Chains A and B, each alone.
Chain A
Amino acid sequence: MTRKKLRYLTIAAGLAALPFLPSQMQPAFAHKDKHSAAQLQAFQDAFMEQVKIGDQLFHGDPETEKKMGVKLSGTAMACAMCHPYTSDTHPQEFPKYQEQMAAFATLRDMINWCIEKPNQGEKIDPNGDAMKALEAYIYYSNRNSKLDPGRH
């Protein structure tokens, strides 16, 4: 069998195997069809739900913390007490060298630093639901800021 024929056979086998791939691989086909208004609304609703959860966490709502299994503060201080409207969180400037950590850091690193150090809370899973919700709220609140990664 020539090398060319072997290549065609490999491609054909790959295409035949596609329907059997795990479902999480399927987003590769997400844009085949045009979006309906209902779909777009559903996407927005899914996002705003996370923003709302993040807002509650950011403002120290005990029920939301309990529901998500996190303890963001050991001093009774909530994030919003130092950052009303998420002021001075500067998500548009990450990743950057973060002076307090003496390290190159992402926004998620900084959120965890604030939870652990000033707030004396318990560090959260950097890829967990609470972190994603906090990130959603902070980005949403700063959504018109210009990206400026690396800025101190």
Chain B
Amino acid sequence: MSKSRQHDTARISRPSGEHPDSAVVLTRRTFLHKAAIYGAGAAACGLFPSLSTIDMAFAQGGPSFKFAWISDTHLYPKEVNSRFVEKTVRAVKEVQAMNPPADFLIFGGDLAQLGDPVELRLGAGLLNELKIRKVFIPGEHDWYLDMGATWNKMFGASPWTFDHKGVRFIGLDTVSHAEDFWTSRKMNAKERMGHMATLDGTLGGAWAAVGPAGLKWLSSALSGWAKDKPVVVFSHNPLYEYYPPWNFWVRDWLPVQEILAPFANVTNIHGHTHQVLYNEIGKMRSIGMLATSWPWPYAPEGVPILTRPMVRADPGDHFDGVGWSGLDMNARGRVDNEYKMWRKDVFAEAAVDSGAGDNGNQVLSPRVADRI
């Protein structure tokens, strides 16, 4: 058994008091997820119907409301790549058409591909068509051309927090903490950005982190908040260890978890991974969001066992395997995440159709060209 699988096994067999909010009513949708924990193999055998929602539960009920997530648009200048523009436009139109409307949009980072102000302005213009409140957190693609100067000026600095209808929302910066690999190599800003924009590059290292100041801020942002009241944490990267070589984590996920541990109802919603993901760490649920640009393959190892993998996308259809998310917090204190993937089926039911299950025969090695 691999180390990551041992970790998963330990997690799902923890004492009941350590689970995320156990007050959740076992609905059909929740049942499907719980069943996936104990019988992941059954999913591969096609026993589960396709369903594109994930349930979470909060201990406290409150007024119902909706919010929406868009991220990872990776916009180039539109004359370079019009496809990513088309997909962003489609997501924005669909969020605008939500009925009842979303109270706000969270944009989860990587608006631009190479941090170019032209790209960031293009993105701002497209998102400006949305007439609801918008909040933003940065991605690494937005940051490393000018170290966040344009991003912060246009979209505001992170971290931030606000309370909305009984929920404390937090937006983290998980992208600005890369070790300086560029100065000693005499790289210019574009070269630095190019390396940071390469998911499987080696020079960026373990750049994803909340950072010491961010951890202190997070602690302070949660002080005084009742331990049983809902907390939703937005981050570009997942707040747990999935696959460090692609920064599918934050390197300081352990102290993050220690800060969040006293709270019974914490949900982390993240981008960066461009794929369907679900995990539970301690009492925190974590949900991975789709990109609008393109889907990443599942990492060679570490896919959380609680995840129902998404289908293999058709590379011939650039609208496949991508989309956005509508999130609904209902009056009973439960939040549904609905993946708005632009295809009929979201989840795979057989290994042959699964983005994770199809790779049992694949053994990958890291790249070599930026090392030799």
Chain A: residues with CB nearer than 8 A to chain B?
48, 51-52, 55-56, 59, 75-77, 80-88, 90, 92-93, 100, 114, 117-118, 140-146, 148, 151-152
Q: How far is the CB of B342 from chain A (nearest CB, A)?
A: 16
Q: How far is the CB of B75 from chain A (nearest CB, A)?
A: 11
Chain B residue numbers with a CB within 8 Å of A75 are 80-81, 83
Given contacts A52-B372, A81-B199, A145-B363, 13 further A-B contacts (CB under 8 A): A51-B368, A55-B367, A80-B200, A83-B297, A84-B297, A85-B365, A88-B312, A90-B361, A100-B315, A118-B318, A144-B363, A145-B362, A146-B361
Residue in A87, A117, A144 whose CB lies within 8 Å of B297: A87
The A contact surface, by secondary structure, is loop
CB pairs A–B below 8 angstroms (27 shown): A52-B368, A52-B372, A55-B367, A56-B369, A59-B367, A76-B76, A76-B81, A77-B81, A80-B200, A82-B294, A82-B297, A82-B315, A83-B297, A88-B359, A92-B361, A100-B315, A118-B315, A141-B364, A141-B367, A142-B362, A142-B365, A143-B363, A144-B363, A144-B365, A145-B362, A148-B361, A152-B352
Q: How far is the CB of B360 from chain A (nearest CB, A)?
A: 10
The B contact surface, by secondary structure, is loop
Bound-complex Cα distance A142 to B355 (A): 17
A-B pairs with the 10 shortest C-beta distances?
A55-B369, A84-B200, A144-B363, A87-B297, A85-B364, A88-B297, A145-B363, A84-B199, A118-B315, A75-B81
Residue of B nearest to A59 (CB): B198
Residue in B198, B296, B352, B364 whose CB lies within 8 Å of A142: B364
Q: How far is the CB of A41 from chain B (nearest CB, A)?
A: 14
Bound-complex Cα distance A77 to B158 (A): 29
Q: How far is the CB of A113 from chain B (nearest CB, A)?
A: 8
Q: Is A80's CB under 8 angstroms from B199's CB?
A: yes
Q: How far is the CB of B35 from chain A (nearest CB, A)?
A: 27
Q: Most chain-B Cβ atoms within 10 A of its Cβ — which of A87, A100, A117, A118? A: A87
Chain B residue numbers with a CB within 8 Å of A52 are 368-369, 372
Chain B residue numbers with a CB within 8 Å of A82 are 294-297, 315
Knowing A118-B316, A145-B362, A146-B361, say if A80 contacts B198 (CB, 8 Å). yes
Interface string of B221-233 (1 = CB under 8 A from A): 0000000000000
Chain A residue numbers with a CB within 8 Å of B312 are 88
Q: Does B39 lie at the interface of the complex (its beta carbon under 8 Å from any beta carbon of A)? A: no
Bound-complex Cα distance A84 to B273 (A): 12
Chain B residue numbers with a CB within 8 Å of A152 are 352
Bound-complex Cα distance A87 to B295 (A): 12
Residue of A nearest to B77 (CB): A76
Q: How far is the CB of B117 from chain A (nearest CB, A)?
A: 17
Q: Does B125 lie at the interface of the complex (its beta carbon under 8 Å from any beta carbon of A)? A: no
Chain A residue numbers with a CB within 8 Å of B296 are 82, 84
Knowing A80-B198, A118-B315, say if A87 contacts B352 (CB, 8 Å). no
Q: Is A86's CB under 8 angstroms from B315's CB?
A: no
Q: Does B300 lie at the interface of the complex (its beta carbon under 8 Å from any beta carbon of A)? A: yes
Chain B residue numbers with a CB within 8 Å of A118 are 315-316, 318
Q: How far is the CB of B233 from chain A (nearest CB, A)?
A: 26
Q: Is B80's CB under 8 angstroms from A76's CB?
A: yes
Q: How far is the CB of A102 from chain B (nearest CB, A)?
A: 11
Q: Is A55's CB under 8 angstroms from B297's CB?
A: no
Bound-complex Cα distance A142 to B38 (A): 32
Bound-complex Cα distance A48 to B372 (A): 9
Q: Does B366 lie at the interface of the complex (its beta carbon under 8 Å from any beta carbon of A)? A: yes
Bound-complex Cα distance A77 to B75 (A): 11
Bound-complex Cα distance A19 to B365 (A): 44
Chain A residue numbers with a CB within 8 Å of B363 are 142-146
Chain A residue numbers with a CB within 8 Å of B300 are 85, 87
Q: Does B314 lie at the interface of the complex (its beta carbon under 8 Å from any beta carbon of A)? A: yes
Q: Is A87's CB under 8 angstroms from B81's CB?
A: no
Interface string of B184-205 (1 = CB under 8 A from A): 0000000000000011100000
Q: Is A87's CB under 8 angstroms from B316's CB?
A: no
Q: Is A143's CB under 8 angstroms from B361's CB?
A: no
Q: Is B367's CB under 8 angstroms from A85's CB?
A: yes
Q: How far is the CB of B337 from chain A (nearest CB, A)?
A: 24
Residue in A87, A117, A140 whose CB lies within 8 Å of B362: A87
Q: Is A90's CB under 8 angstroms from B362's CB?
A: yes
Bound-complex Cα distance A115 to B359 (A): 23
Q: How far is the CB of A62 from chain B (nearest CB, A)?
A: 10
Q: How far is the CB of B198 from chain A (nearest CB, A)?
A: 6
Q: Does B113 lie at the interface of the complex (its beta carbon under 8 Å from any beta carbon of A)? A: yes
Q: Is B315's CB under 8 angstroms from A114's CB?
A: yes
Residue of A nearest to B80 (CB): A76
Bound-complex Cα distance A75 to B246 (A): 23
Residue of A nearest to B313 (CB): A82
Interface string of B303-325 (1 = CB under 8 A from A): 00000000010111010000000
